[in-house]
Structure 1
Amino acid sequence: MEFDQLRYFLRVAERGNFTRAAADLTMSQPALSRSIQKLEEELGQPVFERNGRSVSLTDAGTLLQSRAQQILAILEDTKAEISDDGESGRVRVGAIPTVAPYFLPGVLREFSAAHPRATVIVQENTTDLLLRSCTQGEIDLAIVALPIPARYLEVEPLFEEELLLVLPPEHPLADRPRIRLQDVEGLPFVMLDEAHCLSDNIVSFCRQRSVQPVAVERTSQLAMVQELVSLSHGISMIPEMARRLDQSDRRVYRSLSGPRPMRTIAVVWNPYRFQSRLQMAFREHLQGAEPRNTSGET
């Protein structure tokens, strides 16, 4: 049994399809099928049930999945520990889309200047997928917004930031010196897709105050939310870090009066995996990279 066979097996198990797994692994489907077949011959029983184009794990496959993850994790941790000098190596960082483009560029520049021999690999994805990747050891840490449904991950808050109301300049509320949450009740909202935790943050804040936001349009990118607001498709709430980079005069940002919507950004990692000195240095660097607070007025 070879380590590559275990990696191939895990990829097929994750994708549930040989074609998609082969594409991920940049290999031909016949080569992948032969590798899995040899693995099954060595084990003496099938690890997948073939159901047309899809596959599912057999009982033996379910057991092998757990063991293969442990074996490969031990291998990766051993290699990392042996080569751990605190300066060279890689850090695999995941971040949610409403954080990655606004917070990480400055962090990466400063960390690279302090650790020129290190390589930082960034993966942008939704919270659920990042937590799974972190648990399985596919990334070393993830930058997400709380709360998170993770039982076996270490969580360290980094900073809080305000969610600002964003409106087109001609909106009737744009000239008001104070805007209450009740003032926007019933107005159309442009929101991110439900897979993004920012939408949960907004809806949760509103519902706690007996206000139900009316989402009329949804998109997968925060920049598109801002553009749709500019086109008077609705209003929205935007993280302060995104507002700081917005130089457009086609949008205005306001803080809500009274309790303000906030979100907490945190870094999470798997404490059961080996933590290299480089990974710990990156986490320490994150702690010192808190964005400065700015006014919600434009």
Structure 2
Amino acid sequence: MDIDQLKYFQSVAETKSFTESATRMNLSQPALSRSIQRLEEEFGQPFFERKPRSVELTDAGLLFQRSATQILRILEDTRAEITDDGETGKIRIGAIPTIAPYFLPNLLKQFSNAFPRSQLIVHENTTDELLKRIKQGEIDLAILAEPISEKYVEVKPLMEEELCLLLPPDHPLCDKDRISMKDVEEEPFVMLDEAHCLSENIHSFCRQRSFLPVAVERANQLATVQELVSLSHGISMIPEMARRLDRSKRRVYKSFVSPRPTRRIVCVTNPYRFQSRLFAEFRDRLCEYSKNF
């Protein structure tokens, strides 16, 4: 068994495809298949269940994947520590979909300009999946919204952000100066799917006001929620960072009277992993960027 075999195994486990993994690893598919087969023969167990259009990890494969992940992570951390010059390296950043497209672009541009030999890789996913990847060492840092219930991770507050009321332009509340939560108790809401923490943020705030929003439609993307509200499918609550970038005149944003609904944005890292000088620089700039965002 060698390091390349571990990398090939990880790629197939991640993509669930020999064809896609061969392309990703710049190998022919027969060569990749032979490498995995030799690995399975060495351990005397099949690691993958071959299906017509995909592959799935067997029980033995799941066990081997945990060990392979740890080995590759240790090697990567060791390499990063040895070559740590504060200028070069790879930083893998995770962010939830209600943060990534609104918060990250300018930050990434500024950092890339300051450190042109660095490589920034963005992973966009749900909170649960990103926390899992943080703990497994697959990403270095995640930008999430509270609550964070995961143990053995380091959580650093970045900023508090208002959740704005989103209305179609012909809604009666558009003409009202002071809007309270009581004004929207009976309104139909367009929400993100429950996998997105923004939905839980909204539900949590509403529960504190003794009501639950009635979701008449759910969507996978914030942009879809905005469009559905434009078409008068309901109302919604949208993060301030998304409101800033919305140039549409088919939607109206309003602030609630105090106490306004908010969400807290945090930075999550794995304190048990090696953190390079370049990573520390990015984390410091992230904190400073958040203060002025």
Give the alignment's TM-score, normalised by structure 2. Answer: 0.90
| 1:69-106 CA-partner distances (Å, limit 9, x unpaired) | 22111110111112111012221111111111111112
Partner of 1:185: 185
- 1:46·1:58 contact (CA, 8 Å) conserved in 2? no
- Aligned match of 2:41: 41
> Cα offset for 1:10?
3.2
Letter in 1 for 2:95: A
- 2:123 is equivalent to residue 123 of structure 1: yes
Q: For 1:218-237, list aligned pairs within 5 A.
A: 218-237=218-237
Q: Closer, same or farther in 2 for the Cα pair 1:26/1:127, shift >3 Å?
A: farther
1:281 and 2:281 matched: yes
In the alignment, is the contact (CA less than 8 A) between 1:241 and 1:291 conserved in 2? Answer: no
Q: Which residue pairs with 1:290 in the alignment?
A: 290
Q: Which residue of 2 aligns with 1:260?
A: 260
**Match for residue 133 of structure 1?**
133
2:59 aligned partner: 58
Deviation at 1:65?
A: 2.5
The equivalent residue for 2:85 is: 85
Letter in 2 for 1:94: G
Q: Which moved more, 1:30-39 or 1:195-204?
A: 30-39
Between the aligned partners of 1:6 and 1:65, the Cα distance in structure 2 is: 9
Describe the SS at the equivalent of 2:116. Answer: coil
CA gap 1:44/1:79 in 2 versus in 1, 3 angstroms: same
Question: In structure 1, what residue type is equivalent to 2:219?
Answer: T
The answer to whether the 8 Å contact 1:96/1:126 transfers is yes
The count of aligned residue pairs is: 292
Unaligned stretches of 5+ residues in structure 1:
294-298
**CA displacement at 1:170 relative to structure 2:** 1.3
Identity rate, percent = 64
Letter matched to residue 58 of structure 2: L
Render the CA deviation track for 1:140-196: whole Å, top value 9, x for unaligned. 111111112321221111111010101112101111111111211121111112221
Alignment of 1:122-271 (within 5 A): 122-271=122-271
Which letter does structure 1 place at the counterpart of 2:81? E
Q: Distance in 1 between matches of 2:10 and 2:78?
A: 20
RMSD: 2.3
- CA gap 1:32/1:246 in 2 versus in 1, 3 angstroms: same
Tell me what 2:71 maps to. Answer: 71
**Alpha-carbon shift at residue 8 of structure 1 (Å):** 2.8
Q: Per-residue displacement from partner, 1:243-264 (whole Å, max 9, x unpaired)?
A: 1122222222111123221111
Task: Give distance in 2, aligned partners of 1:236 and 1:10.
Answer: 41
Give the partner amino acid of 1:120: L
**Residues 23 and 189 of structure 1, relative CA distance in 2, 3 Å threshold:** farther
